[in-house]
C-alpha cells in the first residue's frame, strides 16, 4: 500500500515514532518512497487504511473489519479505532438483559 506517512503518524504514536527514524539509503524504496514492512495481513491493513482515510459507510462494519480495528488499534495504539470497534460490538452483543431489550426495541422496557 502506498500511503502518506502523515496519515499514519497522525493516528498512531507507533507510526509517528517510526517515521522519526531516518530511512537508511541502503533500505529498499518504491518510486523513491521508503518501504515499511508490516507483519499484519493485507486485509487488515486495507480495513485500517479505509477507516483512517475516511471511507465510512452508513452500514455497520462486518466482523472482519471490527476484528481488524481491535487488533490494529491495540497494536499501533490507535485508541479511538479500538474503542469504536468495541463500542459497536457491545451494542450488537449486549451483556445484560436490559441492554438486550434496549437494543432490540430501541427503548428500555
pLDDT at residue 91, rounded to an integer: 84
CA distance 65 to 7: 19
pLDDT at residue 99, rounded to an integer: 64
DSSP 8-state secondary structure symbol assigned to residue 34? E
pLDDT at residue 60, rounded to an integer: 76
Q: Which long-range contacts (CB under 8 A, 24 or more apart) does 58-62 make?
A: 60/88, 60/92, 61/85, 61/88
- Whether 70 and 82 have beta carbons less than 8 Å apart is answered as yes
Flag residues of the chain having pLDDT under 70. Answer: 56, 99-109
Domains within the chain, CATH numbers bracketed: 5-104 (3.30.710)
pLDDT at residue 106, rounded to an integer: 54
CA distance 91 to 85: 10
Q: What is the pTM of this model?
A: 0.77
pLDDT at residue 108, rounded to an integer: 47
**pLDDT for 35-45, tens place per residue?**
999 999 999 99
Amino acid at each position: 500500500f502506498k500511503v502518506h506517512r502523515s496519515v499514519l503518524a497522525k493516528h498512531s504514536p507507533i507510526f509517528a515514532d517510526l517515521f522519526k527514524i531516518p530511512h537508511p539509503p541502503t533500505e529498499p524504496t518504491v518510486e523513491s518512497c521508503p518501504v515499511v514492512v508490516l507483519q499484519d495481513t493485507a486485509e487488515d491493513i486495507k480495513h485500517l487504511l479505509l477507516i483512517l482515510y475516511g471511507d465510512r459507510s452508513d452500514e455497520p462494519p462486518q466482523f472482519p473489519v471490527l476484528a481488524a480495528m481491535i487488533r490494529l488499534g491495540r497494536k499501533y495504539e490507535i485508541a479511538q479505532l479500538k474503542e469504536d470497534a468495541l463500542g459497536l460490538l457491545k451494542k450488537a452483543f449486549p451483556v445484560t438483559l436490559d441492554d438486550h431489550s434496549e437494543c432490540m426495541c430501541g427503548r428500555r422496557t
